[in-house]
Structure 1
Amino acid sequence: MAAVLIEREDAVLRVTWNRPEALNALTSQMLSDASEAIEAADPGVRAIVLTGAGRAFSSGADLTAVNPGQALGTETIDCANRLIRAIRATPAPVIAVVNGLAAGAGCSIALATDLTVAAESAYFLLAFAGVGLMPDAGATAVIPAAAGRARATRMAMLGERIPARTAEEWGLITAAVPDAEFPDEAGRLVTRVASGPTHAFARTKHAFNRTALAGLETALEAEREGQVFLFGTDDFAEGTDAFLGKRKPRFTGK
């Protein structure tokens, strides 16, 4: 079965991570497939939905496929950055429908969309520090722009779970919806956007890209540079080993 499902229904393009058994952990191929679908969207697409199958939006990069070492890590970052650029460049509004956990790059991607609606039981987690890494996929630009530097630093360095309701209060997401109402509410939001003033939405998005997210490209480059360095550290090797071994990491600062 495909790891990414691409479906078109009338004016809505739906992109679904489809590895529910792995909590939709992201591979470079999955990121590339999602990017290609968004980049290829024709003018008839008036809304794009990004979501996850099963009980998670995405648990982030698949650490079973990202070994310590620059080459593979660089590929993963480049594919994630391509997706962020595609989300921001497409004139169609991109809506993240977050049905559960959104962690690591999954969190970054969900918060980089234009509208993010989450089930009340969902939560957001920048899990990077737990494996000796820094946030990427645009998180260092998108999250401070939405919630402020102090909260962004808290998420990045302390790795706390941010419940959907708190994320809404912080301005990180559009809405947190009770689980029982979530499918219907998400559907209504998508329908409303897809039937809205397409050109006005596109121009609004373009303006936000040039103002609130003017530093996004600089952030993507800085994240890539920092992450490539961190892939070569002992702390990343230890963090990855601890994660896969389901134990607490012992960082040494090397």
Structure 2
Amino acid sequence: MQPVLFTIEGGIATITLNRPDKLNSFNREMALLLQQKLDECASLHTIRCVYITGAGKGFCAGQDLAEVVDPQGPGMQRILSEHYNPIVTRIRNLPKPVVAAVNGVAAGAGANIALACDIVVAAQSASFIQAFSKLGLIPDSGGTFMLPRLIGWQKASAIMMLGDKIPATQAEQWGMIYKVFPDEDFVNESKKIALTLSQMPTKGLAYTKQALTYSMTNSLEQQLLLEDEFQQKAANTHDFKEGIQSFLEKRAPQFKGE
């Protein structure tokens, strides 16, 4: 059974983490295959949105601990440098929107990989857990970077140290994620978001994504200069011209992602 399922339909690449018997916890094979599929998403012009979810009851329970304690396993340093860090970097550098559709528990690296995505939605029964402290570890996969910026220093510090289980509804109220849907509506509603994104001006969305990433470390002056640079690039795209023309002609735009 492939640990990562991959399909393309209507401009949407769906990536499904597929170790349901392990709540989709990561081993080396799954981590490397996910990187490969993210590279494919970046290279194919026909893909205009990426939708990441989990098979079965969970989104991703983080690292498969059996691999950590295996004397023949990759070891912690390689797990971070060759598995999780490249995954997070690929998600943030991907010039297309990435939707995390959290269908169940997202724990440890699974939670932080979800939070690295551009739009995070969750089923009502889903939850987020920074499980690292209960193993004597620190949050990784960009968690110490993303989470304080999403919910503030105090809440991030508390849930990372205490390892509290945060229900999806609480995560939405805190601003950790975008939206929660009832379980029975989750797949349809989350895919509607991906469909909407896949029909929008892809290059403009990519510049927006880059600008948001740079804003985490830029000064205001640097960010204003960056906005000027990216706005000029966006104004030279086919989709900008189509957006203006469709507005003047009072019709729905037909964006091509160009």
Q: 1:21: which partner in 2?
A: 21
Distance change >3 Å, CA 43–CA 188, structure 1 → 2: same
- Report the equivalent of 1:36: 36
TM-score calculated relative to the size of structure 2: 0.80
Q: Could you say if the C-alpha distance between residues 213 and 15 of structure 1 is closer, same or farther in structure 2, counting changes exceeding 3 Å?
A: farther
Counterpart of 2:57 in structure 1 is 55
Where do residues 68-217 of structure 1 align in structure 2 (5 Å cutoff)? 72-78=75-81, 79-212=83-216
Residues 208-228 of structure 1 deviation map (CA, whole Å, 9 limit, x = unaligned)? 1101366xxxxxxxxxxxxxx
Note the alpha carbon deviations across 1:150-199, whole angstroms, 9 max, x for none: 11111110000111011111111110111121111111111111111211
Cα gap change, 1:213 to 1:125, in 2 (>3 Å): farther
TM-score where L is the length of structure 1: 0.81
Aligned-partner residue type, residue 62 of structure 1? D
Conservation of the 8 A alpha-carbon contact between 2:68 and 2:74: no
Quick one: distance in 2 between partners of 1:147 and 1:3? 32
Runs of 4+ in 1 over 6 A off after TM superposition: none
* Number of the residue aligned with 1:244: none
RMSD: 1.5
Q: Report the 3-state secondary structure (helix = DSSP H, G, I; strand = E; otherwise coil) of the residue aligned with 2:67.
A: coil
Deviation readout 1:82-118 (Å, 9 max, x if unpaired): 0000000011101000000000000000111000110
Unmatched 5+ stretches in structure 1 = 215-254
| Amino acid in the other structure paired with 2:134 | G
For 1:14 and 1:146, the matched residues in 2 are separated by: 25
Gaps of 5+ in 2: 219-258
- The higher relative CO (CA closer than 8 Å, separation ≥ 6) is in 1
Of all paired residues, the percent bearing the same amino acid is 37
Query: CA, structure 1 residues 87+209, in 2 after alignment: closer, same or farther (shift >3 Å)?
Result: same
Structure with bigger gyration radius: 2
Pick which of 64-73 and 118-127 moved more.
64-73
Match of 1:64 in 2: 66
Following TM superposition, by how much is the alpha carbon of 1:36 offset from its aligned partner in structure 2, in angstroms? 1.4
